[in-house]
Structure 1
Amino acid sequence: MIEKERFVPIRIQKNHALLKRIPKNHPKRPDIESDQTRRLAGYKGEQAIDFYLSKLPEKEFLIFHDLRLSNGRYFFQIDTLLISASFALVLEVKNYGGTLFFDPDFNQLIQTNNKGETKGYPNPIEQASQQSAELKKWFQKPNFAIPVEFLIIISKPSTILKTAPGYSKMLQKVQHAQFLLRSIEKIKVSYKNEAMTPKDLKKITRMIIKEHIPETVDILKYYGIPPDDIQTGVICKVCSSYPMKRHFGIWYCTKCQSKDKDAHVHALKDLFLLNKNSPLTNQEICRFLHLPSGDIAKKLLTSMQLPYSGSKKGRVYFPPPGYQQIKELE
């Protein structure tokens, strides 16, 4: 049973909003595009295992995607976590292609692509091992003693896996996605005794959901982009030009003449994603949407039923609940 669904990661959403609203020739654009390409590939790899996870017995496993938990000062992230009554399984998903060499001497992963170019990465086995250790510590808070295993899942079936002679045992923790179910069955054989009751499983599910902390980042500060570099206005979803004009309750594109009643919804989402995780004033929203008056902005915000606090000039607006929980980029 899926207890926490997989959604487009917030960093991907923020990058997407940023790329829509900086000039094509912006000096930071290549860095953002490179980062976005890497993150999208990783997300695609994570999605690739969902087909296999859907074949697991629904009543036997609890599935949590994209977790971010803490044991105190630092956070640890898990791509996918499976919990059964007998064991927990951390899945670290990699969408690397070409040939992967797991170097035991320098404890790193070396990728050689189809062009013969090489690139080094931290050893994902070490990474997943640390995540598992942190999860074990986290389980100790509610006093649960459950075995924790981990697997590195390579989402591309064509990827070649290699390591140094005598270290083949290292790759037992690394599997192509199509062998995931077989690997889970092998782990099940090792843990036949139940470590958690149905009541324990319900309790741990509530704790995981409650203590999951979504990633937050000031995306403009991260890339060093001044707020004045952001291009404001409502974007036309037909021709991507902006700003659209608002006439008689309708957004109108002066370039392609298309009309849209709710185009401001997407613009406001961009604004919340690019904002510093702070509430927005009517004036800030009015300026971003290029509205002629605060009264029009207030009507739009009221129609969207945005959460708010304060009154009159002191009122500030918050993003709608779950606005970041999307399956695909818009």
Structure 2
Amino acid sequence: MITIFMKRHPPEELIQLERLAVRLPTSHHKYAYIQTKYHQLKAGHAGEIYVDRVLQEISYPRGVKVLTDIRLEINPHFQIQIDTLIVSPHSIILLEVKYYAGTVNFNEDSGKTTKIASNGEIDKYDCIIHQLDRATVGLKTWLEKRNISIPVIPILVMANGQTEISVVPDSITLKYAKQLPRYIRTLLVETESLQAYPSTSIAEMIVADQVSWSMTPACQRYEIVPAHLIRGVLCSSCHSPMDRKRGHSWICYACRKKDPGALEVAIKDWFLLIGHTVSNKQLRFFLDLKSSAAASIIFSQSSGMLRLGNAPHTFYTFNKAQVNSVGKSR
């Protein structure tokens, strides 16, 4: 019976890009880049979910645990992110999932992976072979610190079955997603002769030791001036600015729809895109509010908002988990 400890959520950067694409004017010089980056990350996340479904085709031996979205701190200067871990009593299989459309070339010497699209467009990425090695070494170090001597088997997974690999590198194991069930079943059988470890305990230790990384606001990450963003409470349907009449909910005058959740999304946009804290004046400007009293009411009524400091230097922050939930239902 397969056990997945955690549901796979959209990465923070994908949530940020989704909201940045809404707030950034189409005339902005970085709009096309943000759109491209957003669609790349969205495809990558979809690829990871597809691999999750493929892995559920496997009838796992007793004691096998499957973990997703793992983040571990190896030391204060070394943190790793792992897409998927399959923890058995005899080995740990580490999956690095990639989604590419086109032909992929690996160049370990230059430290780059190159993707050539069908239209001839070329994109270069940090070498994914080095990424896989870094995650593998990090996990082995984490295990050694806990006196756990269990084999770690890294696999680079191509989630897109149409990806062409010009030369398959000898230094790694590379599989397409559809190849995983048969290959992983073979691995689990081959490692059964090795020393057994309490896989449930190892999996629980990994989950318990996960770290939460500080989210860099999107404007800082992509070097965008916050003042260039579209201000106001925006309609979730057409993204036009909304207005609110006294005693009424927010109404979009472009598509005539009411959107009671638009205000909360707009507040979270500040934390995703601009900064970790917000003052009354800043919120008033960002949401295009008419008075400081209106901003104060919003602060008092918003769930998850934490007040810090004393007047006149009061500012607010938001629960990170709630900020990240903006894109999960979309």
TM class by smaller structure: 0.7 to 0.9
Code of the aligned partner of 1:290: D
Hey, what does 1:286 align to over in structure 2?
284
Instruction: Report if aligned partners of 2:299, 2:305 keep a CA contact under 8 Å in 1.
Output: no
1:268: how far off? 1.2
Hey, what does 1:305 align to over in structure 2?
303
Matched, 1:71 2:69: no
Question: 2:89 aligns to what SS in structure 1?
Answer: coil
Following the alignment from structure 1 to structure 2, what is the Cα–Cα distance between the partners of residues 307 and 137? 39
Hey, what does 1:23 align to over in structure 2?
25
Following the alignment from structure 1 to structure 2, what is the Cα–Cα distance between the partners of residues 116 and 107? 21
Instruction: Report if aligned partners of 2:96, 2:132 keep a CA contact under 8 Å in 1.
Output: yes
Larger mean CA deviation between 221-230 and 58-67 belongs to: 58-67
Would you say how many aligned residue pairs link Structure 1 and Structure 2?
323
Question: 2:304 aligns to what SS in structure 1?
Answer: coil
1:152: how far off? 0.9
Larger mean CA deviation between 189-198 and 263-272 belongs to: 189-198
Unaligned runs of 5+ in 1: none
Alignment of 1:1-330 (within 5 A): 1-57=3-59, 60-72=63-75, 73-102=77-106, 109-116=113-120, 119-163=123-167, 169-170=170-171, 173-192=173-192, 193-197=194-198, 200-201=201-202, 203-208=204-209, 211-214=210-213, 216-276=215-275, 278-310=276-308, 313=311, 314-320=313-319, 322-323=321-322, 324-325=324-325, 328=328, 330=330
Code of the aligned partner of 1:75: Q
Code of the aligned partner of 1:53: L
Larger mean CA deviation between 155-164 and 68-77 belongs to: 155-164
TM-score by length of 1: 0.84
| CA gap 1:113/1:291 in 2 versus in 1, 3 angstroms | closer
Question: 1:259 aligns to what SS in structure 2?
Answer: coil
Instruction: Report if aligned partners of 2:84, 2:94 keep a CA contact under 8 Å in 1.
Output: yes
Show CA shifts across 1:16-63 (max 9, x none). Answer: 222211221111222222222322222222122011122345764333
Following the alignment from structure 1 to structure 2, what is the Cα–Cα distance between the partners of residues 68 and 20? 29
Following the alignment from structure 1 to structure 2, what is the Cα–Cα distance between the partners of residues 8 and 23? 24
| CA gap 1:311/1:146 in 2 versus in 1, 3 angstroms | same
Following the alignment from structure 1 to structure 2, what is the Cα–Cα distance between the partners of residues 28 and 119? 17
Code of the aligned partner of 1:286: R
Question: 2:68 aligns to what SS in structure 1?
Answer: strand
1:8: how far off? 1.1
Following the alignment from structure 1 to structure 2, what is the Cα–Cα distance between the partners of residues 93 and 7? 15
Show CA shifts across 1:106-152 (max 9, x none). Answer: 67544443335555545433431221011100122322222111111
Following the alignment from structure 1 to structure 2, what is the Cα–Cα distance between the partners of residues 11 and 218? 9
Following the alignment from structure 2 to structure 1, what is the Cα–Cα distance between the partners of residues 104 and 148? 36
1:315: how far off? 4.4
Q: Percent identity?
A: 25
Following the alignment from structure 2 to structure 1, what is the Cα–Cα distance between the partners of residues 23 and 306? 26
Unaligned runs of 5+ in 2: none
Following the alignment from structure 2 to structure 1, what is the Cα–Cα distance between the partners of residues 247 and 310? 25
Code of the aligned partner of 2:157: I
